[in-house]
């Protein structure tokens, strides 16, 4: 049978462990409450242009091409699958600025 002294000692140890745990929890809550929020900030989002995709054929391209026109940024490019290369890859043309090609005639921004 356990003595009253052992029983009291166990209760004191349990209470002390509970208080230590509660103290740690409150200290962590205090730190989190006063720490700055971790918010990601970035530059203003870039405006997404409307892209028009038009399939087409060009001589010298066995698989055809897709012409891509960015109507907001006034750019034209084309992509094609090069199946002659091993492994097959997608080839892309450098964008052409349509404002320069057409001289921005009559277009206001």
Q: For residue 107, name the pLDDT band (cuts at 50, 70, 90).
A: low
d(Cα 47, Cα 9) in Å, to the nearest integer?
A: 69
- 55, 66 contact by CB (below 8 A): yes
Structural domain spans, the chain = 1-36, 51-102
For 69-98, what is each residue's pLDDT tens digit?
998 888 999 999 888 777 888 889 999 998
108 or 58: which leads in pLDDT: 58
Is the pTM of the predicted complex or chain greater than 0.75? no
- pLDDT for 46-57, tens place per residue? 667 788 999 998
Q: What is the pLDDT of residues 23-63, one digit of tens each?
A: 999 999 999 888 887 777 777 776 677 889 999 988 877 78
45 by Cβ neighbours in 10 Å (0-12 / 13-18 / 19+) ranks as: exposed
- Cα–Cα distance between 100 and 74 in angstroms, integer? 9
Q: Give the DSSP H or E segment for 75.
A: strand 75-82
């Amino acid at each position: 049978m356990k003595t009253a002294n052992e029983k009291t000692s166990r209760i004191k140890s349990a209470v002390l462990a509970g208080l230590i745990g509660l103290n740690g929890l409150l200290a962590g809550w205090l730190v989190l409450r006063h720490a700055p929020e971790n918010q990601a900030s970035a530059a203003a989002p870039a405006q997404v242009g409307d892209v028009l995709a038009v399939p087409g054929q060009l001589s010298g391209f066995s698989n055809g091409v897709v012409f891509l026109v960015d109507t907001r940024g006034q750019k034209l490019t084309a992509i094609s699958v090069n199946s002659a290369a091993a492994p097959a890859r997608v080839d892309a043309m450098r964008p052409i600025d349509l404002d320069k090609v057409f001289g921005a005639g009559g277009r206001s921004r």
